[in-house]
Amino acid sequence: MPIPKDFSAFIKISAKERALSQLQRWIIDGTLIPGEKLVDTELSDALGVSRTPIREALQILEIQGFVEIYHGKETRVTKIEKDDILKIYPPFAALQSLAAELATPMISNEQIENLKRINTEFSLLLDRGQPYKAMELDEEFHNLIVEVADNSYISSFTSTMQKHIRRFKYLFLKHVRTTEQISVTEHAELIAAFESREAAKTMMLMKQNVMRPMWELYESIETNSFRQE
Amino acid sequence: MPIPKDFSAFIKISAKERALSQLQRWIIDGTLIPGEKLVDTELSDALGVSRTPIREALQILEIQGFVEIYHGKETRVTKIEKDDILKIYPPFAALQSLAAELATPMISNEQIENLKRINTEFSLLLDRGQPYKAMELDEEFHNLIVEVADNSYISSFTSTMQKHIRRFKYLFLKHVRTTEQISVTEHAELIAAFESREAAKTMMLMKQNVMRPMWELYESIETNSFRQE
DNA sequence: AAACATTTGTCCGTATGTATA
DNA sequence: ATATACATACGGACAAATGTT
């Protein structure tokens, strides 16, 4: 029996990849706090790999905007403040809206069924009071649309932006209480617009669905209510 | 006399930065052709640095979408085909349009004068038959607006997209004959909309000014008229 | 199938640069 | 101003993985 060589369960993940995703997780969930100094020798001890993959991971994190490397001096987790939310959301919304536009003529019935399934699950998790899980389903909903849009430039950028948004929620909200049931309704409207193939409508609804939480978040945050070096 | 330590002329550029910008240049101008295999030892010889900064540069180029690293196997310059132009422009236009919207209430009279100056120069270069120089001025025009929008997420993404577009032009057009005089007019209309602070109009005009060249380019290219491995 | 050649991935020592006493 | 401590940047050697003969 022929076994495919790179069957996903057996893909070997490199030390660099491990370091990258671990550091990313730590920065997003606040284990590594904004402004914290990162020393590669310490990180390499902590993660059990040498300094090289750590450094490579840090370079990538710098490009993604999660750390700042002061040439020859030091490396720190990027700071973040309340008003940053106003900078992150608009470009994210613009590309999500574009993704919706591009997806409108492309989306299959099967994929629409999938969106419905995700939205039902999303609603259920909100009812059950599982906001973290619900957030993940919301992300899944949006990512499926990006996938349908089939544009690697959009997907790579939105994936990074989504991580920044997630970090923001983790840092500023003790309990992620985003996206109330109104989002479920918006999703349903969006799905209906996909079904009737109204691109202008999907664009508008998508923009709304992304931007509304921005204002809710912004107003629910007291200034300086967050940990920082 | 006190000499500022980091006066720009004396800033030391790291080996990684040099390698990155050189490789980027080579990929954009077609010295390194699509699909070409990149061996880090060869590159380190060619650039006179060790493998470490080369590898770091390649990681960044991978994120930017200029090379593909096949884990443990090989690294190649990304391929590109005629239809890619249809994927690159829309997200670029979406963010440029957003930048215009954000810049509209922020732009100063001085910055508007600057746009006019750039557009005049741009027009002059087109008349003189200097399309490369003209392209640079066009980029300057758009970059100034992005700068005014003051959003690092937008600027980092658009900067990468602009490089992809430039690469596209270098690979597919023997003589960059982009942006005829119609673009000068569009810029002038855009400037007028900035002056009257009409955000909806600047958005629309910006989108048009970015997307029109896409179609012109697309139709001026015969299929498979480009070098590739 | 197995040894080889090639290239990438990782480790770690050292040089360089920066900040502090 | 000089020396010292510290962290990063770079280099070169070794290990692991892949493809080939």
Q: How far apart are CA A83 and CA A76, in angstroms?
A: 20
Mean pLDDT, rounded, of chain A:
91
pLDDT at A5: 45
pLDDT at B19: 95
pLDDT in tens, B86-106: 999 999 999 999 999 999 999
- For residue A60, pLDDT beyond 60: yes
pLDDT at A157: 97
**Strand D neighbors by CB, 7 A:** A 12, 37-41, 51-52, 55, 69, 71-75; B 14-16, 49-53, 56, 71-73
pLDDT at A160: 97
Positions of chain C reached by protein Cβ under 7 A: 6-13, 16-19
Are residues A80 and A168 in contact, defined by beta-carbon separation less than 8 angstroms?
A: yes
Are residues A90 and B100 in contact, defined by beta-carbon separation less than 8 angstroms?
A: no
Per mean pLDDT, which range of A111-125, A149-163, B53-67, B177-191 is the poorest?
B177-191
pLDDT in tens, A145-174: 999 999 999 999 999 999 999 999 998 876
Q: What are the structural domains of chain B?
A: 15-77 (1.10.10.10), 84-220 (1.20.120.530)
As a whole number, mean pLDDT of residues B58-82 equals 95
Q: How far apart are CA A181 and CA A178, in angstroms?
A: 10
A65 contacts B60? CB cut-off 8 A? no
pTM greater than 0.75 (yes/no): yes
pLDDT at B3: 42
- For residue B111, pLDDT beyond 70: yes
pLDDT at B57: 96
- For residue A22, pLDDT beyond 80: yes
Give just the sign of the alpha carbon dihedral B4, B6, B8, B11. Answer: positive
Interface residue of A12, A153, A155 to substitute, partner B, most B CBs within 10 Å: A153
Rounded to whole angstroms, the distance from the CA of residue A229 to the C1' of nucleotide D14 is 40
Q: Which of B59, B87, B94 sits opposite A95 (nearest CB)?
A: B94
- List, as one string, the DSSP characters of chain A: ----TT-GGGPPPPHHHHHHHHHHHHHHTTSS-TT-EE-HHHHHHHHTS-HHHHHHHHHHHHHHTSEEEETTTEEEEPP--GGGHHHHHHHHHHHHHHHHHHHTTT--HHHHHHHHHHHHHHHHHHHTT-HHHHHHHHHHHHHHHHHHHT-HHHHHHHHHHHHHHHHHHHHH-SS-----HHHHHHHHHHHHHHHTT-HHHHHHHHHHHHHHHHHHHHHH--TT-S---
- B222 vs A1, more confident: B222
pLDDT at A179: 54
Question: Which of the four pLDDT bands, split at 50, 70 and 90, describes residue A44?
Answer: very high
pLDDT at B120: 97
As a whole number, mean pLDDT of residues A88-92 equals 98
pLDDT at A173: 78
Question: Which of the four pLDDT bands, split at 50, 70 and 90, describes residue B4?
Answer: very low
Q: Which of A56, A97, A153 sits opposite B56 (nearest CB)?
A: A56
pLDDT in tens, B116-126: 999 999 999 99
- For residue B7, pLDDT beyond 60: no
Question: What are phi and psi for residue A70, nearest 5 degrees?
Answer: -90, 105
pLDDT at B179: 54
As a whole number, mean pLDDT of residues A55-82 equals 95
Residue of B nearest to A14 (CA): B71
- For residue B200, pLDDT beyond 50: yes
Question: Which of the four pLDDT bands, split at 50, 70 and 90, describes residue B56?
Answer: very high
| CB-count burial class (<10 Å; 0-12, 13-18, 19+) for B166 | middle
Q: How many CB atoms lie within 10 A of CB A132?
A: 12
Question: Which of the four pLDDT bands, split at 50, 70 and 90, describes residue A51?
Answer: very high
